Amino acid sequence: MAPAPELKAPKKGISHSTLGRTQRWSWIFQRVSGVALILLITIHLTVNLIMGDGINQIDFAFVAGKLANPFWQWFDFVMLVLAMVHGSNGMRMIIDDYARTKWMHATLQWALRIATVVIIVLGTLVLFTFDPCPAGADASLLPSFCEGI
Ligand code: HEM
């Protein structure tokens, strides 16, 4: 009887246990930040779209009123950073999987890194430098606490 054919060892797949240290942290970060984002976005949408007058309440005064409050500044900052890092980390993996040439891979990864940093920096500047009572503005458009400033 012919001997049984020799079977090749199965290829090592990218399972959780075979990932490197950085990859493992990236995997854990995506899960943890995903759950945190569900909570943050639910609060964000409830406060902006359901409570009070809902979507009709969103105007300059509403946004200015929120961004004059350190709680909402830091809430929005955490949501901004988590959403951007979660989204760009996901995109990084998609580029790793699909970019075919070295050149395309490097170009896309750098474009992604630059876009992520620019958006986080600009978003953070908005949150912490926003002037709720700009001089010379129509007082009827400003939050009530601007009166007398
Ligand atoms: C219809 C849906 C949405 C509406 C009407 C809305 C409305 C607003 C408004 C009025 C602000 C100004 C500040 C504040 O309210 O805290 C804001 C900021 C923000 N929203 Fe939303 N939002 C919506 C969906 C989302 C979703 C799905 C995300 C996902 C993460 C998000 C992330 C953010 C972030 C990070 C900021 C702060 C941006 C910055 O100034 O740096 N929003 N949004």
From first to last of the 149 residues of the chain, give the pLDDT tens digit: 788 888 877 666 555 556 688 888 999 999 999 999 999 999 999 999 999 899 999 999 999 999 999 999 999 999 999 999 999 999 999 999 999 999 999 999 999 999 999 999 999 999 999 999 999 888 888 988 898 76
Residue 71, CB-side half-sphere exposure with 13 Å CA sphere: 5
- Mutational pocket test of ligand 1: of 76, 122, 128, the residue with most ligand atoms within 8 Å of the beta carbon: 76
What pTM value is reported for the model? Answer: 0.86
Task: Using alpha carbons, select from 80, 76, 55, 56 the residue that is nearest to residue 66.
Answer: 76
Residue 142 CB less than 6 A away from ligand 1? no
The CATH code belonging to domain 22-146 is: 1.20.1300.10
60 lines ligand 1 (CB under 6 A): no
Contact 120, 80 (CB under 8 A): yes
Round to whole Å and give the CA distance between 36 and 32.
6
Type of residue found at 102: K
Q: Is 73 in the pocket of ligand 1 (CB under 6 A)?
A: no
